[in-house]
A and B are shown apart, each in its own frame.
Chain A
Amino acid sequence: MAERLLEVAELEVSFATEDGLVRAVDGVSFALHRGEVVAIVGESGSGKSVTVMTLMGLTRGVNSRFGGSARLGDRELVTASEAELERVRGAEIAMIFQDPISSLSPVMRIGDQIVEQIRAHEKVSKGAAMDRAVELMERVGIPRARDRARNYPHEFSGGMRQRVMIALALSLSPSVLIADEPTTALDVTIQAQILQEVKQLSQESSSGVIFVTHDLGVVADIADRVIVMYAGQVVEQGTLEEIFYDPQHPYTWGLLGSVTRMDRPPPRRLPAIPGLPPSLTDPPEGCHFAPRCPLRFDRCHELPPLQARVPGVAGHLDRCWLQAGDKRDRREVEGQIGLATEAVA
C-alpha cells in the first residue's frame, strides 16, 4: 500500500457553550495515503468540517478541548505550536473551504491574495508570484485571469470565488489537500472540470485528498475510499465499492436511499430519514443513531458499538450491533438500498 501521509486516531474535539460541552468530534480515526482521495460524507452537523479544520489548527480557541492525535508524517498536529502550524498550513496541508467569501479578504485584490500566500512560503519576486497566480487562475477556469486578478472578491460570483480558493490551495503544491464542499457552489460543468483537476492532482503529484461533500454523485466520481459520519463519529468506512454496494450501517442506507437521481423518474415525495440528530451535549448512551434507527434493539440503547471489521473485509469498518448477515437481508426497501422512511403523504 502507498505511503501513509496522515493518521488520525481517536480524535476528539469539544466546544464549551452555555448549554454545556458540545462533543463535535467524538473519537474519529482514519488514515490518508499518497495518491488517494478519501471522501467524508454524513449528516449535516456531524463534525466533518470540525474534523478537517482541526487538522489545520483552525478550531483552536478558549472554548475548545482536544483529545487523540493527528499525525502528518512524524509531526503531531493536535498539539503542534502555532508557529509549527503556520509552516504546515498552505505548504503541506492546504484547504479549500465551504464558504469562500469568509476565507477571502474583502479589501484585497484576488491576485494579491494569491501572491501573498505564495510569498509567505517561498522566496520569489512579486512579478514571478503574480505570473504564477495568473497561471493558477487560468488552470481553474477563470477567464481573462490577468485582468480578473485585479478584482476584489465581491466582484466575483460565488462559483468564481470558489475557483479562486482552489487556485490558492494549489499554489504551494501541498501533499495533503483538504476540500470542504468545494464544488457545492459550482454548476455541474465547472464541477466536472474541478473534479478532473483534483483527480489529476492526486494521481500526478501523488498528494492525498480529503474531500468533504454531500453529493454522492461526486463521491462516486472521485473517491477511492469513503468515510461516513454521524453525530461526531465515523459510523462506517470502506472502499467506494463497499460503501455503495455493500453498506453496513443503517445510517449509510438512509443516506443512499435519500439520493434523487436525474436519470430516474422523480418520486412524489423525497425519502428522508425521520427524526432529528441527537444533541451533541448529551448524546445517547448507546449507538448515536439508535433513536432514529428502525432496526434498533435493546443492546443499541445500552452500549456504544465500537468500530468493528466487517467479517472477511480488511478495511471495511462498521459501528453497529447488528450482525453482518442480518443486515444484508434487511437493507433493501422496495428493491433498493434504503431505510423505511416517513409515510408518503
Chain B
Amino acid sequence: MATPDEPGAIARGASAPNGSGRGNGTALIEAEHLELYFPVKKGILVDRTVAHVHAVDDVSLVLTEGETLGVVGESGCGKSTLARCLVRLHEPTGGTLRFRGRDITKLNRRGLQPIRREVQMVFQDPVSSLNPRKRVGQIIGVPMRLHGVDGSDVESRVRDLLHRVGLNPEHINRFPHEFSGGQRQRIGVARALAVNPKLLVLDEPVSALDVSVQAQVINLLDDLQDEFGLSYMFIAHDLSIVRHVSDRIVVMYLGKLMEVSPARELYEKPIHPYTQALLAAIPIPDPHENQARARTVLGGEPPNPIDPPPGCRFHTRCPHATEICATTEPPLAEYAGGHLAACHHPQSVGAEEIASAVRSSLSPTSAGDAMPDAEAARQAGDPAPGDPATGRGARTGATPPSPSAGPGSGAP
C-alpha cells in the first residue's frame, strides 16, 4: 500500500489507466491533499477568525493531458473553490499543487504569469466576470493581443470565435448588458479560448444555454480537444452533459471526493450512495416516464461546512449509514478500471469486487484504513446493479430513506 505522504506517490498511483480513451497519461495538474479553508470572521473593531469553512478538504486528484475531468456535486460542496485553487486564483491553505511537475502551490503573481497563459477559466457567473464598460470585441481581443496575436488579425479572430460559439459576429461592438444570459456565457467561453490555452477550467459553462446551443458549444469543445489536445475540467450540475464530455467524473460532497468514476460507468455503476441519490434526482425529459418513475428525493439538509460531521461526510443523510460511518472516515477504495469510491457500504459492486479493491493513494490523510467489508456484502447477497432511473439502487439499503423527505424535515 502506498503511503500517501511519500512525495509523488499520488501522481504515480493516479496516472494508472483511467479506463477511457482520451488523455495520454502525462499529468498536467496534480493536487495532493489540497485544502482551502475560508476564515469566518467576527468582531466589531478587530476581526477575529472564529472558525473555518472547509470548502476544499484534503482533495487529491490528477488531471492528465488531453483529458476531460467532470466535476459534479451538491451546491456549495466546493467545486468552484477547487477549480479556483487549481488555476491558482486562490492560494490553497494546505497541500501541494503541481503544474507539469512543478510545485506552484505558493507561487506569487509574477511566478504564475507563464502559467496564466496556459490555464484559462470560464467563470460560473458570466455577469460579474465581464467588464460592463468594455465592448465584446475588447473583452475577447485584448487578452489575444496581450498574448501576442498580431493587431491586424485580432478583429477577424474575434469574429471567428464569436461565430464558433454560436454568437452573431455583428455583435462585436456590443456591451455585455446587451446580451442575454446564455449569450454572455458564450462570451466567457470565447474569451477563454482566445489565448489558445492548454487547460480550460469550465465552471458551469453551458448551464444558461438552451439544449441546442448547449450541443453546439459542447461539440465545439470536443473539436478543439481533438484538434489541439486541450485538457478540460468541466463543472456542471447537468449529469447527462457531464457524462457526455468527460473521461472521468469526480463526485464531491462537502469539500471531499466521494467517487471518481470512468464517465461511462457512472450511470450504470454508481458505487457511492450520494452518487446514487444524485442520479435518482434527475428529472426525465419525458412527462410520462418522469411521472411513472418513483423518485427518491434526498432528505435532510446539507451539513454545515464550518463544522462538518465526523466519519463519512454523507452519513447524516445516507440511507445505508451504519455505526462505522459516523465515526470513521472511509478511504477512497479503488475498484476495477480505476473506479474510486469513499464508502463503507459500496453499492453496485459485488463481494468479489469489494474483496479485490485496494486503498487508493488519493485517500485523505484523515481517512481510516477500514476498507469496505466484502464478507458482509457476501452475506447480504450481491446487490442489484444500481438503477437510478427507478430509484431502485438508492433504496436497496438496510435503512430506507424517509419517503420524499423535503427540506426542513430533518436528518435521519
Chain A residues in 8 Å Cβ range of B303: 143
Alpha-carbon distance between A244 and B288 when the two chains are bound, in angstroms: 10
Among residues 248 to 297 in chain A, which have CB atoms less than 8 Å away from a CB atom of chain B? 254-256, 258-263, 266-267, 269-273, 276-277, 279
Alpha-carbon distance between A219 and B283 when the two chains are bound, in angstroms: 9
Point out the residue from B126, B240, B283, B404 that lies within 8 Å of A260, measured CB to CB: B240
Among residues 90 to 118 in chain A, which have CB atoms less than 8 Å away from a CB atom of chain B? 98-99, 101-102
In the complex the two chains form, is B75's CB within 8 Å of A139's CB?
Answer: no
Known A185-B204, A187-B74: A262·B239 in contact at CB below 8 Å:
yes
Determine whether A3 belongs to the interface, using a CB cutoff of 8 Å to chain B: no
Alpha-carbon distance between A53 and B185 when the two chains are bound, in angstroms: 19
In the complex the two chains form, is A102's CB within 8 Å of B212's CB?
Answer: no
Chain B residues in 8 Å Cβ range of A220: 283-287, 290
Chain B residues in 8 Å Cβ range of A98: 181, 208
Chain A residues in 8 Å Cβ range of B173: 18-19
In the complex the two chains form, is A187's CB within 8 Å of B284's CB?
Answer: no
Determine whether A190 belongs to the interface, using a CB cutoff of 8 Å to chain B: yes
Determine whether B128 belongs to the interface, using a CB cutoff of 8 Å to chain A: yes
Among residues 75 to 132 in chain B, which have CB atoms less than 8 Å away from a CB atom of chain A? 75-77, 80, 124-128
Among residues 136 to 153 in chain A, which have CB atoms less than 8 Å away from a CB atom of chain B? 138-141, 143-144
In the complex the two chains form, is A217's CB within 8 Å of B213's CB?
Answer: no
Chain A residues in 8 Å Cβ range of B80: 157-158
In the complex the two chains form, is A143's CB within 8 Å of B301's CB?
Answer: yes
Determine whether B248 belongs to the interface, using a CB cutoff of 8 Å to chain A: no
The 8 A CB mask of B286-316 against A (1 = contact, 0 = none) is: 1100100001011001111000000000000
The 8 A CB mask of A48-79 against B (1 = contact, 0 = none) is: 11100000000000000000000000000000
In the complex the two chains form, is A158's CB within 8 Å of B208's CB?
Answer: no
Alpha-carbon distance between A313 and B74 when the two chains are bound, in angstroms: 42
Known A143-B304, A189-B278: A217·B283 in contact at CB below 8 Å:
yes
In the complex the two chains form, is A217's CB within 8 Å of B208's CB?
Answer: no
Chain A residues in 8 Å Cβ range of B218: 270
Alpha-carbon distance between A259 and B218 when the two chains are bound, in angstroms: 13
Determine whether B211 belongs to the interface, using a CB cutoff of 8 Å to chain A: yes
Alpha-carbon distance between A45 and B215 when the two chains are bound, in angstroms: 16
Known A43-B213, A220-B283, A221-B290: A189·B297 in contact at CB below 8 Å:
yes
Alpha-carbon distance between A155 and B295 when the two chains are bound, in angstroms: 32
The 8 A CB mask of A178-210 against B (1 = contact, 0 = none) is: 000100111111111101110000000000000
Point out the residue from A42, A143, A195, A269 that lies within 8 Å of B222, measured CB to CB: A269
Point out the residue from B75, B124, B285, B297 that lies within 8 Å of A196, measured CB to CB: B297
Determine whether B282 belongs to the interface, using a CB cutoff of 8 Å to chain A: yes
Determine whether A304 belongs to the interface, using a CB cutoff of 8 Å to chain B: no
In the complex the two chains form, is B213's CB within 8 Å of A190's CB?
Answer: no
Known A186-B237, A189-B74, A270-B215: A44·B285 in contact at CB below 8 Å:
no
Instruction: Classify chain B: how many residues form its interface, as a range.
Output: 35 or more
Point out the residue from A45, A144, A216 that lies within 8 Å of B211, measured CB to CB: A216
Alpha-carbon distance between A259 and B210 when the two chains are bound, in angstroms: 10
Alpha-carbon distance between A189 and B237 when the two chains are bound, in angstroms: 10
Alpha-carbon distance between A188 and B74 when the two chains are bound, in angstroms: 8
Determine whether B241 belongs to the interface, using a CB cutoff of 8 Å to chain A: yes
The 8 A CB mask of B204-242 against A (1 = contact, 0 = none) is: 100111111111101100110000000000000111110
Determine whether B193 belongs to the interface, using a CB cutoff of 8 Å to chain A: no
Determine whether A214 belongs to the interface, using a CB cutoff of 8 Å to chain B: yes
Chain B residues in 8 Å Cβ range of A258: 211-212, 214-215
The 8 A CB mask of B152-180 against A (1 = contact, 0 = none) is: 00000000000100111011011000111
Known A44-B181, A189-B277: A244·B406 in contact at CB below 8 Å:
no
Residue in chain A with minimal CB distance to B179 = A45
Residue in chain B with minimal CB distance to A188 = B281
Determine whether B60 belongs to the interface, using a CB cutoff of 8 Å to chain A: no
Determine whether B407 belongs to the interface, using a CB cutoff of 8 Å to chain A: yes
Determine whether A218 belongs to the interface, using a CB cutoff of 8 Å to chain B: yes
In the complex the two chains form, is B75's CB within 8 Å of A158's CB?
Answer: yes
Alpha-carbon distance between A262 and B275 when the two chains are bound, in angstroms: 13
In the complex the two chains form, is B212's CB within 8 Å of A254's CB?
Answer: yes
Determine whether A41 belongs to the interface, using a CB cutoff of 8 Å to chain B: yes
In the complex the two chains form, is A260's CB within 8 Å of B244's CB?
Answer: yes
In the complex the two chains form, is A191's CB within 8 Å of B179's CB?
Answer: no
Shortest A194–chain B CB gap in Å is: 9
Count chain A CB atoms within 10 A of each CB in B53, B209, B283, B388 and give the residue with the most.
B283
In the complex the two chains form, is A44's CB within 8 Å of B219's CB?
Answer: no
Determine whether A240 belongs to the interface, using a CB cutoff of 8 Å to chain B: yes
Point out the residue from B77, B241, B408 that lies within 8 Å of A139, measured CB to CB: B408
In the complex the two chains form, is A259's CB within 8 Å of B211's CB?
Answer: yes
Residue in chain A with minimal CB distance to B239 = A262
13 interchain pairs, CB-CB under 8 A = A99-B126, A159-B74, A184-B208, A185-B237, A192-B298, A195-B283, A196-B297, A214-B208, A214-B210, A215-B285, A266-B264, A271-B215, A279-B170
Lowest 9 A-B CB distances belong to which pairs? A159-B75, A44-B182, A157-B76, A270-B215, A217-B283, A141-B407, A272-B215, A216-B285, A221-B283
- Interface contacts beyond A187-B74, A262-B389, A272-B219: sample of 4 additional A-B pairs, CB < 8 Å, sorted by A: A43-B210, A184-B207, A261-B284, A272-B215
